[in-house]
Structures are given as structure tokens and as C-alpha cells.
Chains A and B, each alone.
Chain A
Amino acid sequence: MIQIENLTKQYGSTTVVDRVSLCVERNSIAVIVGTSGSGKSTLLRMINRLVEPTSGRVLLDGADTRSEPAHLLRRRIGYAIQGHGLFPHRTVAENVATVPRLLGWPEDRIRARVSELLGIFQLDPALYAGAFPHQLSGGQQQRVGVARALAAEPGVLLMDEPFGALDPIIRAKAQEDLLAIQRRFGTTVVLVTHDMDEAFRLGHRVAVMSQGRVLQFDRPSVLLTQPADPFVARMTGISDRALRLLALTTAGEAAVPGSSAGPRVSASASLREVLSELLWSGATSATVLGEDGSARGQLDVAAILARGRP
């Protein structure tokens, strides 16, 4: 659990982060979203003390982060950034092994962990362990960056616009991977982005930041239906907030017993996707299929529309 208490950062007379307090539950993903210059990156970097706070404190599982030297603290916290920041003179395996080496893990444990991680990130160790970063594609470099951040099994992973440099298709894949990995390791993730769709897609809770302050920190559906501030409403998008709300629920969650002659949709599809499918096919209801391909129920337009209202 990460408790941020009254955290402030000032550079001279400018206040970049202004008395921010929030609490990130263990095993959850918190997304900090805001325009550029809102202080979101500074807030993130104060968690692992790449930026030292002017005042306030951060507690990691109850312990003040200032109770140990900053570089030792950072070895316990994963950190992934936009543009990956891989070390160009080190191979993929050496990059991933960075923190375990700093921690002095035995060589065979490091080797096992590196192969495990490369496997999880769909990078065949035989092909990629000895490759240099410049030999990889952008998506692969980004995956190595995240693998390096997770190498020493940190309880907390901080990510600063990690997918910012990726094209939309690879970005969607990287987001899915992150969700899968977060579920697998139970890592507590704090991610910074300026992309509201990304925030809603990944975040269990989303903090909206503006001018150094956190305006609201809550579940995506609450941000949409009960914005605490006009700026939050603007950020979350007034014109398409109903569609965004639909995107937060899956067909499986909304399905009711019964059957339909309409198109067949997967239970993991969002209601937004189901609605789009119905519009396209001209049908008024759809059959929801489970992962095994059997019918799990049906959804009609009225039921979908009802979920797009607060």
C-alpha cells in the first residue's frame, strides 16, 4: 500500500505539486492523469525519490520512504519510463538483470528470472537474450523496459507514460500485457498518462491532476457520473461520457439469461463494442458467448442503453 500524505514540491516560488494526499491500495492499479505541466510526473517521481519532496511524506507499507538511502529504496520499486531508457551498451538479458545484480542475487537465480521474464513478455530468450536494444522494435524495447522494472519482484511498479511512444495497435497489446502481469504478480502499479482512454482502461482508480493538485481520485465510473469539478468533467469528456461509461462494463457482466437471434459477441467485449456491433448489423439484441464458445445469455439495446446513464 502506498500512502501519500500532504506531498508538496516547490521549485523556487513555483509549486509543482501542491499538498497531494492519496492512498493506493495493495494489488491495484492507480492511474494519474492530467495535462502536461499538471505535476503528475513529479508526483510519481517523488514516490521513488527521484525527486525529493519539499514537504509531506510517502509511506510504503507503513514505512516512511525516507528511512533508507534513496538508491536502496529504488531497488525495491520498479520504474518504467517512456522511451524505455534501456542501456544501449548492454544486452537485453543484462538490462533485465540490472536490479538483481545490484542486489547481489546469485548468478543462477538471475539467469532463471531473466528467462522467466523474457518468456512472459513473449521474447524468446534464445533469440533475444543476447541482442542489443537497438536491434529490437519499439514494442519489444518497451517490453524489455517493463521486464527490467519487474526483475527484482518489486511490490510496487511506477510507470511514467510507458506506452507513449508506441503506435495504437502495439499500445493496446502492451496495455493488455500490463493488466495480465499485474494480475499474475499482484503488483501495486502507479501509472502516469495524459491519455484518458488509457487511464479508464487500466486504472482501478484514477486521479485527475491539474496545476499540482489532485482534483478527484476515484473509480472510473464515479469520475464519469459524479465529477467533483468542472475540470474533471472536461477531462473525462462530456460529449462521449455515456460511451465511456459503457466501455467500463463487459458483456459478460451485463448479460441476462435468454437467447437471441442477433449477432454473437464475446463475454469479454465491452458494452460499447456490443452496441457498435448492434448498430452495424441493425439487430436489436445479441447473444453473449462465454470463453468456451457456449451461449451465456443475451443483451438487448434497451439494457445496454440503461447502463450508459448515471
Chain B
Amino acid sequence: MSGTNLLRWTTLGLLLAFLIFPGRFAPVFAPLTHYGAPPIYDQGNLLMLALAQLGTVCCAAAASTLVAVGLGILVTRPAGAQFLPLSRTLVNIGQTFPPVAVLAVAVPLVGFGEKPTLIALFAYGLLPIFENTIAGLRSCPPTVLEAASGTGMSGRERLRLIELPLALPLILEGIRLSLVINVGTATIGSTVAAKGLGEVIIAGLLSSNTAFILQGGLVTGLMAVLLYDGLATLERRVSRAVPLD
């Protein structure tokens, strides 16, 4: 087992061990607490919170992917090229509008809970996927596209059989960036009562419990790192099948 692999599996093991048996780690966090405060978050199940956060992020990413890849395909077709500036502006607004502000706007409209968080993460995650889809589709060599048309592929067949497979590594990279950014961003969802690790951090801030803050932050960070690593591995697999010469 290589060094990278060892580190990868150790990190995953440690994270799972902490989420499933948090009690065992009490001695590690005890020095960070004062006046007999609990060293491990005790107002909810850490594993459930982590999974809830991951679920929210994945749902948002799935929606972002669908919309961003769809838009990316549309604006790279001759018929849709005129929508490029508009789409780009919309997607950029999604990225520059702070997620906290999106929450503030969304809560009066859809109420508290998961929904406003999903909306904020969806908007925030569009940009990397959209831009990478466009870059990927535009990077297809012109001779390959000409050959594809020359063999008698219709526009749709060419997109499905040639362009999307060739763009896939870049699209995956966009999805990975979007996911990783949003794993961290998702913690703010707890301010509007979405289930997630933000709850642990907020509880720590309210009771001046550094151990809680650290637990929420560490679990979120490790999830982001592992997700990044896992998706990067998947990308390399796909890229090997799509050698770019």
C-alpha cells in the first residue's frame, strides 16, 4: 500500500471511528473544556448530523450539475450561443451572492429547514460546473468533431458519443470543486434549522465550548478532504480512458 493510500484509509478510518464511537475520543477533547462541560457534543448524534449535511450537499450538487451541464451544453450549440452572456451572468450572480444572504432571502419564501440551504448551495455550486462544462466541450479537437459528423452522427449522437465523453474529466472536476466548497458552506444551514454539523459549531460558540467548535469543524473539514480525494481518483480513472493528445 502506497503512502498516499495509507493516509487516505487512515483518515477515513479515523473519521468513521469518531462519528460512530465519539465517546471514546472524550479524553482527546477534555483538555479543551472548562468547568466540567461535556467534551463531546451531546445534543444530537454526530453521525446523523454528518450524514444529513452530506445528503444536503449531494442533493444540491445533483441539481447544480443538472442545470449547469444542461446550460453548458445549450450555450455551446450554435442555436444556443446567444444565451452564453446571459447564462454566464446568472451563474456568476449565484457565485457572488453570499450564501448567507441567499438564506436570508429564501427563508421568508420557503420557511426554515433544509429548503433554504438547498437553494443557497445550489446557486453557489453552479459556477465551477458551468464553466468547466463549457471548457470541456470547447476543448474537443475540431478534426475529431469533423470526423464525427463525417461518419454520419446526428448532432445529438455527436454530443452523446463524442463531446460529452471527451469533456467528462473537466466536468467531473467542476462537480468536485462545487461539492468541496459546499461541504464547508453547508454548515451555515444550521442558522436556519437545517440538520448539519453547523449545529455543533453553533452550540460550541453559544456555550464557549472549544471542543464542540473543533469537532464540528474537523468533521466537516475531513469530509471535504476525503470527498476531494475520492473524486480526484475517479477523475484520473476517467482521464486515463480519455487520453488527451
CB pair B157 A102 closer than 8 Å:
yes
Evaluate whether A88 and B245 lie within 8 angstroms (CB atoms) in the complex, with A81-B146, A83-B143 already known. yes
**Smallest distance from the beta carbon of B167 to chain A beta carbons, Å?**
10
Minimum CB–CB distance from B139 to chain A (whole Å) comes to 11
Does any Cβ of B come within 8 Å of A111's Cβ?
no
**Are B153's CB and A102's CB within 8 A?**
yes
- Number of B interface residues in the complex (CB < 8 A): 21
Roughly how many angstroms separate A305 CA and B107 CA in the complex, as a whole number? 96
Known A-B contacts A132-B243, A134-B243, A134-B245; A85 and B146 likewise in contact (beta carbons under 8 Å): yes
Q: Mark B22-37, 1 if CB is under 8 A from A, else 0.
A: 0000000000000000
Distance in angstroms between the alpha carbons of A70 and B245 in the assembled complex: 30
Bound form: Cα–Cα A275–B215 in Å: 90
A72 CA / B151 CA spacing, docked (Å): 9
What 1/0 flags go to A63-99 for Cβ under 8 Å of B? 0000001011111100101111111110000000011
Knowing A71-B153, A99-B151, A102-B153 touch, does A89 contact B146 (C-beta < 8 A)?
Answer: no
User: Is the Cβ of B143 less than 8 Å from the Cβ of A85?
Assistant: yes
Categorize the interface residue count of chain A. 20 to 34
**CB–CB A88/B147 < 8 A:** no
A75 touches B147 (CB 8 A): no
Say whether, besides A88-B243, A88-B245, A134-B243, A99 and B165 are in contact (CB < 8 Å).
Answer: no
Interface flag for A50 (CB, 8 Å)? yes
Q: How far is the CA of A81 from the CA of B149 in the complex (A)?
A: 12
CB distance from B158 to the nearest CB of A (A): 9
Contact present for A79 and B243 (CB under 8 Å) = no
B143/A71 in contact, CB under 8 A: no
Contact B243 A50 (CB under 8 A): no
Question: Contact: A75 with B144, CB < 8 Å?
Answer: no
Nearest Cβ on chain A to B56's Cβ, whole angstroms: 34
A89 to B148 alpha-carbon distance, docked (Å): 13
Asked if A205 lies at the interface with its beta carbon under 8 angstroms from chain B, I say no
Question: Most chain-B CB neighbours within 10 Å: which of A72, A82, A88?
Answer: A88
For chain B, what secondary structure do more than half of its interface residues adopt (helix, strand, loop), or is it mixed? helix
Closest to B243 in A: A134
B68 to chain A, nearest CB (A): 22
Query: Are A81 and B150 in touch, CB under 8 angstroms?
Result: yes
Q: Is the CB of A102 within 8 A of B151?
A: yes
Contacts of A89 in B (CB 8 A): 165-166, 241-243
Structural contact, B144 and A85, CB atoms closer than 8 A: yes
C-alpha gap A226/B235 in the complex (Å): 62
Residues of A within 8 A of B154 (CB): 69, 71
Judge whether A272 is part of the interface by a CB distance below 8 angstroms: no
A9 within 8 A of B: no
Asked if A71 contacts B152 (CB within 8 A), the reply is: yes
Distance in angstroms between the alpha carbons of A99 and B147 in the assembled complex = 11
List 25 interface pairs A-B (beta carbons < 8 Å), by A numbering. A48-B150, A50-B149, A50-B150, A74-B149, A74-B150, A74-B151, A75-B151, A75-B152, A79-B151, A81-B146, A81-B147, A82-B143, A85-B144, A85-B146, A85-B150, A86-B147, A87-B162, A88-B166, A88-B245, A89-B241, A89-B242, A89-B243, A98-B151, A99-B151, A134-B243
Additional 7 contacts, C-beta under 8 A, given A73-B152, A81-B146, A149-B151: A69-B154, A82-B143, A84-B147, A85-B150, A89-B165, A89-B166, A132-B243
Q: Give residues in B with beta carbon < 8 Å to A.
A: 141, 143-144, 146-154, 157, 162, 165-166, 241-245
